[in-house]
A and B are shown apart, each in its own frame.
Chain A
Amino acid sequence: NAGVMQNPRHLVRRRGQEARLRCSPMKGHSHVYWYRQLPEEGLKFMVYLQKENIIDESGMPKERFSAEFPKEGPSILRIQQVVRGDSAAYFCASSPGQGGYEQYFGPGTRLTVT
């Protein structure tokens, strides 16, 4: 059973470039969550998606950040015009939905903005 997969594992971008982070949930899971972890800090919720729907994006900055979970393919977190403050580890988690609250995390994408 493959777990949650994220790629790339490491991503380096210059200020002003775009970053695209991908997440494939566990097989059978229909709910995806994105969290951000700044160095030496805890995890902060960003966005919660189901297939083709954004359920809650209250934790995501209003500008430059967007997320999608299409009918086919992985969920994508997109950061436009990256700034140094975007440097962090971005984790994706998935859950089965249908009453299943357990969230299983991927290995994360470590974004470095130079």
Chain B
Amino acid sequence: GENVEQHPSTLSVQEGDSAVIKCTYSDSASNYFPWYKQELGKGPQLIIDIRSNVGEKKDQRIAVTLNKTAKHFSLHITETQPEDSAVYFCAAPPGSARQLTFGSGTQLTVLP
């Protein structure tokens, strides 16, 4: 099965700085890598994803990079704002399956 490891578990940054969260996965057949943001008391919200045939994807202040050889992918948030404070999860499917295996989450705190 798939094993997804995520770090750091907590991350504090000053408003305006960048934040980077990293994940590694074990199944080389995995082909889809989403990132979710979860605010307290709410469901996870899909914020960006990347397919295995792409190395980088960007959406405004958020970007994801993928290194298939090393089996790791990262979330980059630039110009952080207090409303970016939340728990962020990475995920990957085991092989070609559709269900997701999630990382353990990163609590991001943006200090004003």
Residues of A within 8 A of B (CB): 4, 31, 33, 35, 41-45, 48, 55-56, 59, 91, 95, 101-108
Contacts and interface: CB of A to CB of B under 8 A. Distances in A.
B12 to A, nearest CB: 18
B34 A103 contact: yes
A42 B89 contact: yes
Interface residues of B, number: 21
B44 interface: yes
Contacts of A33: 98-100
A33 B97 CA distance: 12
A95 B49 CA distance: 14
B43 A45 contact: no
B25 interface: no
A56 B89 contact: no
Interface stretch (B55-63, B69-77, B101-109): B101-109
A108 B43 contact: yes
A101 B92 CA distance: 11
Contact of A41 (B49, B98, B100, B104): B104
Contacts of B44: 43, 91, 105
Contacts of A59: 99
A45 B46 contact: no
A22 to B, nearest CB: 15
Nearest to A3: B43
